[in-house]
Structure 1
């Protein structure tokens, strides 16, 4: 990508702001991304808007980001996208964090999973924008892989074993086929601190910490492997992609990257790391096989990923799982001690 200097983006004495739209801004990654774009003088560099499906938008979120307009959007029908063009303008970058992401829910309602997770309406809207120069950063999943080996590479075949994974494979295909500028991030389990407006769902590290703290024995799978990624590493990846795009002259990007952490871990190993950092009794962690539990959905056994391409392309150093757990629990204890 040919680079342009920062001064080339200045109009008079004013820096031209980069317009960023976060689709699914009320979710876990979406809220963290809003925070990343707002911090470090981000308000001087980025114009940010976000979409939401649930209404009303949480008051805590609106109060935290008063200058970021929120747009109701229905991903199934595309209703609401035109309003963004009208009132916010054409975005330079769109980050799609929206998804029906609970595999069991997707299995129970495949029609909704396919209509929400395969972004037909989003891609159609982008095709109506002038010059087709918007970068789409799309969050995919490690569940596009079959799970029959370790350390999948980006060029490996995508053979999803459940509806959620299949919907994400279909999403990748439509983006590659219909949109010329994209970065697809195949994310693993995302973990880290709670969001500005706390989510009702359990966050993985906080949940493990809370159940082990109670002193009750808990079962964890010993034979299902993932590469969990610390949320701030994923934010660093997204911010690097945005800034690379902004600084380029040719505006061409067609990237698929495995976005996992540096460690291949079973659920047992994740729980052991949480127990060690949190000072909990390791004997509370009971090893069970994933095949012994019916979760109402087929789950791939080993979808650990090779992240060499991510590290080399973006020159980042991902946080180890244990360090990410330490940072997550420190953040939690600090928030609890606030008045």
Structure 2
């Protein structure tokens, strides 16, 4: 029986991967920081050596952009060295490494969707630390899949939860009209990661929903689908406290999926509608 070690198993994507795999013929090894601190190379090496996973999936990370700016060393420790430690363990155990990354590796100055062949140029500590993690994976583990995604929503999504909380309280929502990317459902992303993990060639893949929108349009659609009458007001990114430091344009082109003959995720609106329809108590998400 193959073993799948999911690091960051309590996060949005980690939980969904767990749900999808728990009734399949694999042995799940589920850890978060309380069980295995990925910044501790010995702890990672010992756990991998004892359990001998066939796949190591890194869903862990410090994703709060503001927190990364305030604590640069911690950001690189978690997002870069954590990925390095897991990659080394994967190489030593001949496991396949799956690394979850982000659209923040791009500077946001583009006007057309970024492909896997475009050169990253992150402007934030978060983006820089995630790119460093990608590079460590490439350097230390020859069997790897790197997945970049964007604006992931699902259980545990802070942005989605804050929008729903404001809507539930009837408070006006201010959302950036000059930030554009692709919202992506955690559930659908988890499904695609498992597919790539099991059968795709090694390499880098952009995996997002189809279409694109601004933060303002995203917030509008969340409010509309929830049935709220809360007003959503477009503002400049610098005035959107929830997303002020994100790239202005980070739409990802899923070129590698298309060229590899791998099916794409649905349109972002479809995934969002499905997610909200499955929830009864929006403000608790």
Q: Same fold (TM over 0.5)?
A: yes
How far did residue 34 of structure 1 move? Answer: 0.9
What is residue 75 of structure 1 aligned with on the other side? 38
Q: How does 1:5-16 map to 2 (within 5 A)?
A: none
1:128 aligns with 2:92: yes
Q: Partner residue of 2:218?
A: 270
2:194 is the counterpart of 1:239: yes
Shift in alpha-carbon separation, 1:85–1:168, aligned structure 2, 3 A = closer
Q: 1:92 to 1:116 in 2, by over 3 A?
A: same
For normalisation by structure 1, the TM-score amounts to 0.76
Asked if residue 285 in structure 1 is aligned to residue 247 in structure 2, the reply is no
Shift of 1:235: 1.3
Q: Is the 8 A contact 2:189 2:207 kept in 1?
A: yes
Query: Which residue does the alignment assign to 1:11?
Result: none
Q: Which residue of 1 aligns with 2:70?
A: 108
Aligned 8 A contact 2:116 2:255 in 1 = no
TM-score by length of 2: 0.90
Task: Give the deviation of 1:318 after TM superposition.
Answer: 1.3
2:21 paired residue among 30, 37, 47: 37
Contact 2:182/2:211 (CA < 8 Å) preserved in 1? yes
Judge conservation of contact 1:106–1:112 (CA < 8 Å) in 2. yes
- Report if aligned partners of 1:75, 1:115 keep a CA contact under 8 Å in 2: no
- Aligned-pair distance for 1:231? 1.3
Q: What is the number of equivalent residue pairs in this alignment? A: 280
SS in 1 for 2:264: coil
CA gap of 1:34–1:294, structure 2 versus 1, over 3 A, is: closer
For residues 244 and 141 of structure 1, the distance between their equivalents in structure 2, rounded to whole angstroms, comes to 22
Aligned to 2:247: 300
Using the TM superposition, give the Cα deviation of residue 165 of structure 1 relative to its aligned residue in structure 2, in angstroms.
0.4
Does residue 53 of the first structure (1) align with residue 37 of the second (2)?
A: no
Listed one character per residue, the Cα deviations across residues 47-77 of structure 1 (whole Å, up to 9, x for unaligned) are: 11022213xxxxxxxxxxxxxxxxx222222
Matches of 2:270 and 2:243 in 1, distance apart? 33
CA 1:306–1:86 in structure 2 vs 1: closer, same or farther (change >3 Å)? Answer: closer
- RMSD over equivalenced CA pairs, Å: 2.3
User: In structure 1, which of residues 313, 320, 323 is the aligned counterpart of residue 270 of structure 2?
Assistant: 323
The gaps in structure 1 that reach 5 residues or longer are: 1-16, 55-71, 246-252
Contact 2:174–2:234 (8 Å) recurs in 1: yes
Contact 1:73 1:81 in 2 (8 A): yes
Q: CA deviation at 1:240?
A: 0.7
8 Å CA contact 1:277–1:322 kept in 2: the answer is no
Q: Residue deviations 1:242-277, cap 9 Å, x none?
A: 3216xxxxxxx4310112211211111001211222
Aligned 8 A contact 2:62 2:75 in 1: yes
Contact 1:191 1:231 in 2 (8 A): yes
SS in 2 for 1:183: strand
5+ unaligned residues in a row in structure 2: which ranges?
A: none
Instruction: Deviation per CA, 1:89-141: give whole Å up to 9, x if none.
Output: x2111111011111111111111111111122222222322xx3x11110011
Partner of 1:249: none
Q: 1:331 to 1:294 in 2, by over 3 A?
A: closer
